[in-house]
Amino acid sequence: MPLVEFKNVYKRYKMGEITINAVDGISFCVEEGEFAVVVGASGAGKTTVLNILGGMDSATEGEILVRGNDVSRYSDRQLIEYRRYEIGFVFQFYNLVHNLTARENVELATQICKNPMDSDQALESVGLRDRRDNFPAQLSGGEQQRVSIARALAKRPALLLCDEPTGALDYNTGRQILALLQETCRSEKMTVVLITHNSAITPMADHVIEMKSGKIVRDIYNNHPKSIEEIEW
Amino acid sequence: MTKALLRNTFREIGHTKARFISIMAIIALGVGFFAGIKATAPSMYNLAETYYRDTRLMDFRLVSTAGFAEEDIQAVAALDGVESVMPSYFCDAIINSEGGGEVVRLIAVPKKYEKNKALNNFSLTEGRTPRKSGEIVTESAAFAGSRHHVGETVTFNPIAGENKINDLLQTTSFTVVGKAESPLYISYPRGTTTVGDGKIDEYMYITAEDFKLPRYTELYVKADFSGEVSAFSDAYEKQAAEMQEKLRALADDREAAFTAEVIPNAQQELADGKAEFQKKKAEAEEKLGEALEQLTAGEEEYNTAIAEAEQKLSDAQAQIDSGEAALTAGEEQYAAAIGAAEQLIADSSAQLADGQQQLEEGRAALQQQLAAAKQSAADSPLGDVQTDVMDAIGSAQLGAAQSQLFAGSAQLAAGESELAVQRLTGSAQLQAARAQLSAAKKQLESGKAELEEKKTSGAQQLADARREYETAKADADKQLAEGEQKLKDGEAALEKLRGLKAEWYVFDRTGNPGYASFSQNADRLDAVASVFPLFFLLVAVLVCVTTMTRLIEEKRTEIATLKALGYGNGAIILKYVIYSSIAAVAGSAVGVAAGVASLPFIIYNAYKIMFYIGDITLVIHWPSVVLGTLAAILCTTVVSVIVCTKSLRAKPAQAMRPKAPKAGKRILLERMTPLWKHMGFTAKLTARNLFRYKVRLCMTVIGVAGCTALIVAAFGLLNSFVPLTDTQFGEVFRYDAVAVPNKAGTAQELAYLKDSAYQTGEADVAMLSLQEEATLTFGGKSTKENTHIAVPEQPDSMDAIITLRTRRDKTPLTLSDTGVLINERIAADFGFAAGDTVTLRTDNGEAQVKVDGIYEHYIHNYVFMKPALYEKLFGSEPHYNLLQVKMKNSGSDAESRFSTQMLSDDRLVAVTFMRENIEEFKNMLNSLDMVVVVMIVCAAALAFVVLYNLTNINLAERQREIATFKVLGFFNRETSRFIYIENIILTLLGIAAGLGLGVILSGFIIRTVEIDNVMFGRDIFFTTYLYAAGLTMLFSLLVNAAMAVKIRKVNMVESLKSVE
């Protein structure tokens, strides 16, 4: 059984008389331990898919099964618990709490889950152990994003969802982050779903889902995903 | 400013309703409070002014120890600046004990004096004005008004202090015909008197004719300026002071005149009186002498007249007697004469008859001769002729005989008729004589009767005259005696006058009980009005700063865009200036409307417990409205300009990028590693957040502190009333009843009072007490009214009746032989303490005395001392004037048993019970609850505005953070907690600050609203702090609850999408 299964999922927005299908009846699966990349131009509906998957948004129609449970039928509370125990999020703009140090930002996540990673260990795994007592403002963008990843990883989530994690970073730093994510996926057997508009990085993924105007136009598996060092763009 | 920008401004308001409203609300609160309270004092002043103008309240009241005469009144009326004068009468009397025994000031119904219009016109609330003797109008003020009803009878006690009521009034029983409010008494104090227990309970009006006083007792003066300048203004006070000086100077003249004129005048009058008396006496005596002479003369005349009359009568009698004798003689003569005549006639008649016989015989013979002759002749041819001649010769012979007979007969007839005539005349003569006699007799009789009558009537007249004389004499004697008495009285009066020194007292309006306190209250209110809004304004500025800062920060991109489009800084700033000014103007408008329409009435309603001068009409104090609004606009716009200018300093390109979030910083607390380590995660976050936004911290703490302080002050005000009733009458003054004797006296003289109190079986402890009006002076300050010397008869065992102790630690205080104990209020006002020396002045003199201690006391001022000390200070044994009684049982049954039994003694004037007073007082204070409610509502509004605004901004600023928490899987509860805990900590800080502030504020308010001669409680109860903290916490939690909804609504997707 796949870890995630979208079955004919729609997300419609009503703008007056017009109904826009941000997600237009898509179905796909993500297996456990997979590094999946959803790729598409801006406005293709990929972020909506991620939000629905992350329990931050709800689908208008269709089933979203995670480990066989239909997330789309979850109550608000169940959704919160789902986010709390199953999901780790990494955003384009990191969304760190500015008033907390790097370690405290990680602790913010660890204090609410059942079996968290030690926060220092989480920071070590992203290579920021030495900077753990720094506030976000004292860290570079890449470092902040690594803290953000550490925070997500520390929860030991079933799914790590990354929304354009390199969008705000320069090329090299972006690569480092992607490498970190790929590394984590491999070593921790973490299932990662990553969204990007940059199709150049699709070769590193196990599973590539390409979207266009709310629909899936391509859903393929790379039999031989490349490591980030092998890709240039 | 382009149209588009203007439209944008108005749309901005639409989009940021909550913020706009919060600025508006805090400004409305501040400006409304300011304008509302500021409008109260002018409204109160206006009310007093109109009332005084309408009732023609006097400006000065003149009272003289010797009263006023017409000359005095004329002299005052002639004074420059006097508009009108009105002499009047007053006296103090006690209602008889069945009627309640209240001390009443009786005042003459205002009446115009000559051309002067009447002053101090009372307004009737019921019934009509007294028109004739025996009619009375009572006062309608709440506490006194309920005692008497129209149609009832009010009877006064025969004794009124040192006077008998009959010397003061024409009648002692009056029918209530109406109820009135006097402009002389606008508040509850009624002043003091020497009658009864020394305190006037109520005033009443009767007609001037009902006063039995020789001279006017008071003289009211109205100055011409009082119609022109407002009653409480400085101009009035200045002119009044000048006028008072003039009156004072005139008073000196008149006082001197009294000694120089009145006494000599009286002396002269007395001398004149004496002279006149002597004159009158002489006159009267002379008149009496004359009358006596006349009387004697009359008597003599009478006697002579009687004697004369009697003589006359006896003469008449003699005459009558002689007449009678003559008559009898006449009669006899008459009878004899008649007899002789009759004899003569009878003889003549017999001669005649003989003659007749002879005639007849002659005839017959003749006829025979004739016939024979004839026969003879017939035979002779010459017979015929012979016969004829013979016939003729016979006939002639016969005829001659017949003629002879006839002549005899005629002679007889003549004799007879003569006799008849003689008889007739004789008889007539006799008749006449007889008639004359009888007339004379009758005359004599009537003369006799007349004499008798005259005799009696004369005697009567004489008797009457004598009586008249006697009466006249008696009258004259009496009048003389009276005159003498009058002279004696006059002498006594003169003696008294000589002893009397005319001393005039010139009182201005502040001498009216309640007049000064009215303006003082209005002024105090103004003082409060100046402090509160300042606080609100401060909070308004803070709210404005945070709100505008946030708004401008949010609009950073827009500002940059506008700048990029080429708008000038001025135009951009103007947008926010307009935004904030609209908020300020709208807030001010709402605040002024609400504040001015409600606060003066709510506040004045509380004052109406104390003042009886009608209802206020609103007078808006425009300067404060304008000032408040301007302050509000200024604050908001200045804040906007400052915040905006800061933002505008950035280059457009820089500004268009999101502002870097405020960097996290280590706070001082973290340096205390052990503590920090032990803090929970949330606590750490909260701690850092709290110190991250210092302005917000200040604003919240100040706002919340203000809220708490207001509530503390509100409840503190209520607390401050508690000692007025519970402590004052439960712990300090512990007696239940007061019995007033009709005459003050020494302990021995009033021993009966105590005995009868114990005899009722209801009294537990009874103690005689002297309460005497006194003036206390210390450091140049003197008490004005309601200050008494109190002398307990048994100072050592007075505890059950009155407990003297310190307020703070309740240490009992005892009276010493050398010093006095004084209550806290005067001590605090005048600034003296134990060990200082104060001056006491009473009617009996002046004395200096050491203060032993300051005792807890709340209502009025009492200087307690031992009887011995009183005697030492004032030189006379204390004359106690009341009996204070602690009862065995409380309740109206025991009270009525006690008073009925006590009042059966005529020497008692009144029995009053404290319970009634306390109830009355409590009811009075209850109406102040409204003020407390207003304060709590304001406090709540303040708390809501501040906390809501703050939390709202907090949320807006931290939306991303909150969304992050949500994404991380924090429950709503957990997310909210981050915000709540901050709020709660700030609230707690605010409460802590507010409790402290509240103590200061409530102290200030209490001292500000404190009535003269009454000390409000100073202790704030623990419960007040609890209420204040609890209510503030509740408001805070309510705001949090409102915020919880907002937190739940934060949309993660939208919030985290990207940077706006």
CA distance B1060 to chain A (A): 12
Tally of structural domains, chain A: 1
Identify any residues that bridge with B820 across adjacent strands, giving them in sequence order. Answer: B851
Handedness of CA B216, B217, B223, B224 (dihedral sign): negative
Interface residue A135 vs chain B (CB under 8 A): yes
Contact between A118 and A106 under an 8 Å Cβ cutoff? The reply is no
> H-helix or E-strand containing B816?
none
Mean pLDDT of B680-702: 78
Interface residue A91 vs chain B (CB under 8 A): yes
Nearest CA in chain B to A108: B681
* CB-nearest partner of B967 from A89, A98, A136: A89
Task: Look at the block and give the residue holding tokens 């302005």.
Answer: B695
Identify any residues that bridge with A19 across adjacent strands, giving them in sequence order. Answer: A14
Tokens of B907: 């020497």
Tell me which chain A residues have a C-beta less than 8 angstroms from the C-beta of B975: none
Q: A135–B663: do the CB atoms touch at under 8 Å?
A: yes
| Range of weakest confidence among A76-80, B432-436, B755-759, B867-871 | B432-436
What DSSP state is assigned to residue A133? T
CA distance A230 to chain B (A): 31
* CB-nearest partner of A99 from B660, B692, B1059: B692
Distance between first and last Cα of chain A = 35
CA distance A85 to chain B (A): 8
C-alpha–C-alpha distance, residues B259 and B812, integer Å: 53
* CB-nearest partner of A83 from B661, B967, B1056: B967
Contact between B862 and B820 under an 8 Å Cβ cutoff? The reply is no
C-alpha–C-alpha distance, residues B974 and B963, integer Å: 12
A50, A93, A99: best to mutate for the B interface, most B CBs within 10 A = A99
Q: So what's the pLDDT on residue B377?
A: 59
In this predicted structure, the answer to whether residue B393 has a pLDDT above a threshold of 50 is: yes
Tell me which chain B residues have a C-beta less than 8 angstroms from the C-beta of A57: 1052-1053
Tokens of B395: 């006939």
Question: In chain B, how many H helices and how many E strands?
Answer: 27, 24
Q: State the burial class of residue B430 (Cβ atoms within 10 Å of its Cβ: 0-12, 13-18, 19+).
A: middle
Tell me which chain A residues have a C-beta less than 8 angstroms from the C-beta of B971: 77, 80
Nearest to B736 by CA among B714, B773, B767: B767
Contact between B518 and B48 under an 8 Å Cβ cutoff? The reply is yes
Residue A164 structural domain: 32-62+76-230
CA distance B963 to chain A (A): 9
Interface residue A136 vs chain B (CB under 8 A): yes
Beta strand extents in chain A (DSSP E only) = 4-15, 18-30, 35-39, 61-66, 69-70, 87-90, 159-163, 191-196, 207-212, 215-221
Relative to beta strand B837-842, strand A61-66 is unpaired
Question: pLDDT class for B654, splitting at 50, 70, 90?
Answer: low
CATH of the domain at A197: 3.40.50.300
Tell me which chain A residues have a C-beta less than 8 angstroms from the C-beta of B1052: 51, 56-57
Q: So what's the pLDDT on residue B207?
A: 92
* CB-nearest partner of A83 from B663, B681, B969: B969
Mean pLDDT of B75-104: 86
C-alpha–C-alpha distance, residues B1043 and B976, integer Å: 8
Contact between B206 and B108 under an 8 Å Cβ cutoff? The reply is yes
Q: A108–B961: do the CB atoms touch at under 8 Å?
A: no
Q: What percent of chain B has pLDDT over 90?
A: 11
CA distance B663 to chain A (A): 5
B659, B688, B689, B968: best to mutate for the A interface, most A CBs within 10 A = B968
Q: So what's the pLDDT on residue B1060?
A: 38
Query: Chains A, B: CB contacts under 8 A, how many?
Result: 83
Nearest CA in chain B to A58: B1053
Q: B664–A57: do the CB atoms touch at under 8 Å?
A: no
C-alpha–C-alpha distance, residues A35 and A179, integer Å: 12
Total length of chain A: 233
* CB-nearest partner of A137 from B664, B969, B970: B664
C-alpha–C-alpha distance, residues B62 and B280, integer Å: 40
* CB-nearest partner of B1053 from A56, A135, A151: A56
C-alpha–C-alpha distance, residues B1000 and B994, integer Å: 10
Residue B990's alpha-carbon distances to B682, B702, B705, B983, in angstroms, are 21, 6, 4, 10
Question: pLDDT class for B662, splitting at 50, 70, 90?
Answer: low
Q: State the burial class of residue B585 (Cβ atoms within 10 Å of its Cβ: 0-12, 13-18, 19+).
A: middle
Contact between B863 and B777 under an 8 Å Cβ cutoff? The reply is no
Mean pLDDT of B9-18: 84
Residue predicted with more confidence, B1027 or B652? B1027
C-alpha–C-alpha distance, residues B642 and B656, integer Å: 20
Residues B777-811: pLDDT tens digits?
A: 998 888 877 788 999 998 888 888 999 999 888 89
Q: B968–A99: do the CB atoms touch at under 8 Å?
A: no
Q: B688–A83: do the CB atoms touch at under 8 Å?
A: no
Residue B739 backbone dihedrals phi, psi, to 5 degrees: -110, 135
* CB-nearest partner of B689 from A89, A99, A112: A99
Contact between A105 and A97 under an 8 Å Cβ cutoff? The reply is yes
C-alpha–C-alpha distance, residues B29 and B51, integer Å: 32
CA distance A225 to chain B (A): 30
Neighbours of B444 (CB within 10 A): 18
Neighbours of B490 (CB within 10 A): 19
Tokens of B426: 């004789």
Tell me which chain A residues have a C-beta less than 8 angstroms from the C-beta of B960: 95
C-alpha–C-alpha distance, residues B509 and B241, integer Å: 11
Please compute, for residue B673, the number of CA atoms within 13 A of its CA located in the half-sphere on the CB side.
Answer: 0
Tokens of A223: 């039999």
Tell me which chain A residues have a C-beta less than 8 angstroms from the C-beta of B1047: none
CA distance A98 to chain B (A): 5
Q: So what's the pLDDT on residue B380?
A: 60
Mean pLDDT of A57-62: 88
Nearest to A151 by CA among A167, A171, A128, A168: A128
Contact between B596 and B618 under an 8 Å Cβ cutoff? The reply is yes
Handedness of CA B256, B257, B260, B266 (dihedral sign): negative
In this predicted structure, the answer to whether residue B373 has a pLDDT above a threshold of 70 is: no
Q: B1053–A137: do the CB atoms touch at under 8 Å?
A: no
Residues B880-890: pLDDT tens digits?
A: 988 999 998 88
Nearest to B35 by CA among B710, B584, B600: B600
Identify any residues that bridge with B116 across adjacent strands, giving them in sequence order. Answer: B113
Neighbours of B725 (CB within 10 A): 18
Tell me which chain A residues have a C-beta less than 8 angstroms from the C-beta of B970: 80, 84, 112
* CB-nearest partner of A57 from B665, B689, B1053: B1053
Residues A103-112: pLDDT tens digits?
A: 888 888 888 8
Q: What percent of chain B has pLDDT over 70?
A: 92
Residue B497 backbone dihedrals phi, psi, to 5 degrees: -60, -40
What residue type is assigned to position B726 of the chain? D
Domains of chain B: which residue ranges? 1-25+42-55+513-659, 89-214, 244-499, 693-724+915-1060, 743-905
Q: So what's the pLDDT on residue B839?
A: 92
In this predicted structure, the answer to whether residue B242 has a pLDDT above a threshold of 80 is: yes
Q: State the burial class of residue A73 (Cβ atoms within 10 Å of its Cβ: 0-12, 13-18, 19+).
A: exposed
Tokens of B177: 């015909």
In this predicted structure, the answer to whether residue B481 has a pLDDT above a threshold of 70 is: yes
Interface residue A87 vs chain B (CB under 8 A): yes
Q: State the burial class of residue B101 (Cβ atoms within 10 Å of its Cβ: 0-12, 13-18, 19+).
A: buried
Q: B967–A111: do the CB atoms touch at under 8 Å?
A: no
Residues B945-955: pLDDT tens digits?
A: 888 888 888 78
Q: A83–B1056: do the CB atoms touch at under 8 Å?
A: no
Interface residue A51 vs chain B (CB under 8 A): yes
In this predicted structure, the answer to whether residue B700 has a pLDDT above a threshold of 50 is: yes
Determine, yes or no, domain membership for A14: no
Residues A130-169: pLDDT tens digits?
A: 888 888 888 888 889 889 988 988 888 889 999 888 887 8
In this predicted structure, the answer to whether residue B184 has a pLDDT above a threshold of 50 is: yes
Q: B969–A81: do the CB atoms touch at under 8 Å?
A: yes
Q: What's the mean per-residue pLDDT of chain B? A: 82
Q: Quick check: helix, strand or coil at residue B657?
A: coil
Determine, yes or no, domain membership for A2: no
| Range of weakest confidence among A190-194, B124-128, B330-334 | B330-334
Q: B664–A111: do the CB atoms touch at under 8 Å?
A: no
Q: A137–B968: do the CB atoms touch at under 8 Å?
A: no
C-alpha–C-alpha distance, residues B53 and A52, integer Å: 81
Residue B733 backbone dihedrals phi, psi, to 5 degrees: -90, 105
Q: B681–A107: do the CB atoms touch at under 8 Å?
A: yes
Determine, yes or no, domain membership for A114: yes
Task: Look at the block and give the residue holding tokens 């007073």.
Answer: B917
Interface residue A100 vs chain B (CB under 8 A): yes
Contact between A86 and A159 under an 8 Å Cβ cutoff? The reply is yes
Mean pLDDT of A124-135: 86
C-alpha–C-alpha distance, residues A111 and A103, integer Å: 12
Tokens of B793: 């008869």
Q: State the burial class of residue B979 (Cβ atoms within 10 Å of its Cβ: 0-12, 13-18, 19+).
A: buried
In this predicted structure, the answer to whether residue B1058 has a pLDDT above a threshold of 60 is: no
- Among chain B, residues having any CB pair with chain A shorter than 8 Å are 660-665, 681, 684-685, 688-689, 692, 960-961, 963-972, 974, 1052-1053, 1056, 1058-1059
In this predicted structure, the answer to whether residue B822 has a pLDDT above a threshold of 90 is: yes
Q: Quick check: helix, strand or coil at residue A101?
A: coil
CA distance A57 to chain B (A): 7
Nearest to B203 by CA among B222, B187, B215: B187
Tell me what ipTM this predicted complex has: 0.89
Nearest CA in chain B to A51: B1053
In this predicted structure, the answer to whether residue B850 has a pLDDT above a threshold of 90 is: yes
Q: So what's the pLDDT on residue B387?
A: 65
Sheet arrangement for strand A159-163: A87-90, A159-163, A191-196, A35-39, A207-212, A215-221
Where on the phi/psi map is residue A165: left (φ > 0), alpha (ψ -120 to 50), or beta?
alpha
Q: B663–A51: do the CB atoms touch at under 8 Å?
A: no
CA distance B685 to chain A (A): 7
